[in-house]
Amino acid sequence: MIWAFAVAAAAILYLALRFRRFQSWVEPALTIVVAIGLAAALLIWFVEERAPSGEVVVQDTAAPALSADNVELSETEAIVGQTKTSFRVTGRITNKGTVPMQSFRLDVVLSDCPNGTCREVGRDDALIVLRVLPGESQAFSTFAVFPGSDITPVTAPEWDFGVRDVRAYGR
């Protein structure tokens, strides 16, 4: 079908080059051919989009196979990065579940606690994509950024790490 519009456009251009009287009709004729082609393409697109595929889609509403209770954080630490507001966070994650883990979200909270009185400096989270088989553990590394922590310097940092949005591999 596209070839028909291409042939029509080529014929119009040929006639315009060959015959002087036809040149005044070239622009309106090409505009009409292009408009009909676009309308046909949109019609085909909408018809194909709504056509049933014949496949029945069943949504998996089962509970996730892994949760934050099935993983354990250990050896977590934060080291000052290249800037005063960024920190390299490293640690190990252990999969206590029965299925492989694909990813998790690490929550990081930085507090300043001089003389036992704490104030929260900031929060950050990072998506860690790491495949961990059941019963195994792996090291991870990411960065956490706390804008504004350079304005009021942290003298006694306290860190709180948490895990959420644990995803099983293949789900």
- 93 contacts: CB under 8 Å, gap ≥ 6: 71, 72, 73, 101, 104, 128, 130, 132, 137, 138, 140, 163
SS3 (DSSP) at 167: strand
- Mean pLDDT highest for which of 18-22, 32-36, 61-65, 148-152? 32-36
Q: Quote the crossing angle between the two packed helices 26-50 and 2-18, to the nearest 10°.
A: 180
pLDDT per residue as tens digits for the range 119-141: 888 888 889 898 888 889 999 99
Query: What's the pLDDT tens digit per position in 30-46?
Result: 788 778 878 887 788 77
d(CA 108, CA 144): 7
Q: What is the mean pLDDT of the chain?
A: 80
Q: What is the H or E stretch that residue 149 is in?
A: none
Whether the predicted pLDDT of 63 surpasses 50: no
